[in-house]
Each structure stands twice: as structure tokens, then as C-alpha cells.
Structure 1
């Protein structure tokens, strides 16, 4: 005895009511629930659908779908960071490493011509300015999620990570005391290291917000075969 399309839709609705918002996770749970219900019906076809559903749901324990969601999120996080790193490391190879070096030298040289009192403020405001532009772009990327009828875990990570991490770093930079930075960049080696780290961090967020999001559909098709059919 097989589930009807109406009953399968009821299973999707059931997962949403139990705080499963991503379609790919919903689908995995629906398949699991459906198989369990059909196995029950193979033994006793008179078991009501809702009773069979509750019996299957009870197997997930007191926390319901929480553990499944957590496991899927961790797995997708690893996949996302692997994708991010694969793109980011290209900036440390020719010819893009030349851009990284040039940007570092520009920041380093700029700090060199500033007065002692201005160095820390220059770094703070430069980083805040660049990150503000990236943050605005990340917000625009995030709006794409609101226009989709289905939410996919990978898509959510791609379009949300740039926003969340940029926001955190903006807050950190506001909290950093420019006078402390000024002491760090007082020495040439400290100034160069600071310039390199600043440039590398900006490039990381650039990749997160400008490079990966336009290729979201490509990553979704590779991750979910059913995405292309949808």
C-alpha cells in the first residue's frame, strides 16, 4: 500500500510545522516517514495515516527532527567552506596573487605616508568602508531567498554567510581601539603584516559575496539532482 500525493504533501506540511524550513531536508525526512508508514501498512493496512505518522515521528525522540537538522547543517557547512576555500585559494596563485600583493603594498604604502596619530584610524575606517560596501551587496544577495518558494540549505548558506560574517566583523572593527592599531603599525613589519591581513580578509569576504553567490544555481544542481527538475 502506497501513500497518495495528498498524503505525501501532508508529510511536507508536517515537517514544516515541526520547524524544518529547507526543502532538501524536508524531502529527506518525508522519504523516511513515507517508508516507515508503508512498512507499517505492509503489516496492518488498517492503521490510520495519522496514527502511522505519529508512530514514525516518535522514533525521532523527544527532540523531534532537531538532530537530523543539526546533522545536515553540519554536513552542508563543511561542503560550503570547501567550496569557499577552493575559490579563495586561487588568489594565492598566479596571476591573482599579483593583485593580492599590489593591494597589500598600496595599503602598506598608504600607512607609511600617514602621521603617527592617523595610522590606527586609517586602518579602522578603511576596513569599515570596504566592509560596508560588501555588507550592502550581501544584503541584496540575501533578498533572493525571500523570492523563492523553496528554501535549500546550500542556497541559504551561500546567500546568508556573507551577511552574517560581514556584520560580525563590522561590529568587531567598531569595537577595536584605533590607538591599539596605531601601535601595531608603528613598526614596518607590523605595518606590512597588518596590510596583508587586512587585504586577505577583504578578499575573503569579496569571494563570499561577489564570486560565489552568482554561481549559486550551479552549486545547487551539483548538490541536489532534484533541483534541476524543480
Structure 2
């Protein structure tokens, strides 16, 4: 006995009811449940679909799908880390290396000026404002997708969460560092200015990659990661 399209749809609803929010994780679980239910029916063909489904679900243990969700998140964290590194290392190869060096030198000579602290804080304020506008638009788009019950993938959610988390952490840390250091930057020796400039350059590049480059390439990355993504957009 084979599962019908109605049964498959019911399994998707079942996984959603048990706190599986992402379509790719749902699909993996539905595939597993469907195969197991058909095996159960081979042994007991008269068993009702709901009973066979519940019997299969019990095999996941007392925590239900939580172990599968955690394993999938760990797997996707590694995948996202590879994506992040792929985009970040491009800034240390030509022609983007020229921009990277320009940012570094600009910061290095900026720190030698008497008013570098205030310029950095002003720049930070501008970047924070731009980032908040971008995040607000992204949250509104994500909320609309949820309301319209569109399919949301785990990597898609991670791109948004990382964008918010990293940018917020970066801005707070830079702001705190600027205020904690009581000694004027222009009085520091060159090796300290070199280290500060290099660190801030890396933070700026990571902010740009997580906040702009990866979100702009989200559709392409999702199609690259999930073969079923393009198909899901048409369903």
C-alpha cells in the first residue's frame, strides 16, 4: 500500500504541528515517515494511516523530532560557515584586495588624526542606521512569507539571523572599544594602529558579507543548496 498525495500533505502538517518550521527539515522527516509507514503497512495493511503515522513517530523517542532538528541545524551551520568563508576570502584576492588594502590604509591614517574617535563613532552611527533599515525590510519580508504560509528553508532563516546577530555584536563591540580606550589613537605606536586597523577592516568586511553580499545572493545560494528550492517556488 502506497501513501497518497493527501497522506503526504497530512505528514507535512503533522511535522509543522510538532514544531518543525523549515520546509527542508519537514521534507526530510516526511520522506522518512512515509517510507516507514509503508513498511508498517506491509506488516499490517489494515492499520489506519493515523495509527501507522503515530507508531512511526514514537520511534523518534520522547523528544520527538528535536534530535533531527538539532542535527540538521549543526549540518547547516557548517554549510553556512563554508559559504561565509567563501565570500570573505574573496576580499583578499584580486581585484577586491585593492579595496581591502584601501580600507585598511584609510583606517590606519584616520587613527593618526586627532579626531579619529569622533569620526569612527559618526561612521558607526551611519552604518547602524543603514543596517536597521535593511533589517526592518528583511523582517517585514520574512513576516509576510510566514503569514502567506510560504515555504521557508533553514538556510534562509540562518542568513537573516546571522545578519542581525553579527551586525549587532560588531557595532556594540566597536562602540565599546572606542569608548573604553581613553588614550587618543594618534598617540599609539604604529604597530598598535596596524593591529587595530586590520581588526576593524576584517569586521567591516564580515559586516558587508553577512549584511549585504550573502542576503543579496540568498536566492542563488538556496538554489545551490536545495535542488527542490526552485520547484517549491512554483508550487
Q: Same fold (TM over 0.5)?
A: yes
Deviations 1:96-121 (Å, cap 9, x if unpaired)?
1111111111122122121xxx5555
Distance 1:182 1:126 in 2: 20
Is 2:181 the partner of 1:162?
A: no
Q: Which residue is equivalent to 1:74? A: 74
Relative to structure 2, which stretch is displaced further, 211-220 or 175-184? 175-184
Where do 5+ consecutive residues of structure 1 fail to align?
A: none
Q: CA RMSD in A?
A: 2.1
Q: Which residue is equivalent to 1:151? A: 152
Change (3 A) 1:59 1:181: farther
**Could you state the TM-score of these two structures normalised by the residue count of structure 1?**
0.89
Q: CA deviation at 1:138?
A: 3.5
Q: Which residue is equivalent to 2:208? A: 206
Please say if residues 23 and 150 of structure 1, whose CA atoms lie closer than 8 Å, have aligned partners that are also in contact.
yes
Distance 1:162 1:181 in 2: 30
Please say if residues 221 and 227 of structure 1, whose CA atoms lie closer than 8 Å, have aligned partners that are also in contact.
yes
Q: CA deviation at 1:145?
A: 2.3
Please say if residues 87 and 207 of structure 1, whose CA atoms lie closer than 8 Å, have aligned partners that are also in contact.
yes
Please say if residues 20 and 26 of structure 2, whose CA atoms lie closer than 8 Å, have aligned partners that are also in contact.
yes
Q: Which residue is equivalent to 1:219? A: 221
Is 2:45 the partner of 1:45?
A: yes
Relative to structure 2, which stretch is displaced further, 176-185 or 62-71? 176-185
Change (3 A) 1:181 1:130: farther
Is 2:55 the partner of 1:55?
A: yes
Distance 1:179 1:68 in 2: 44
Q: CA deviation at 1:38?
A: 0.9
SS of corresponding position for 2:105 = helix
Q: Which residue is equivalent to 1:34? A: 34
Q: CA deviation at 1:128?
A: 4.7
Aligned residues between the structures: 227
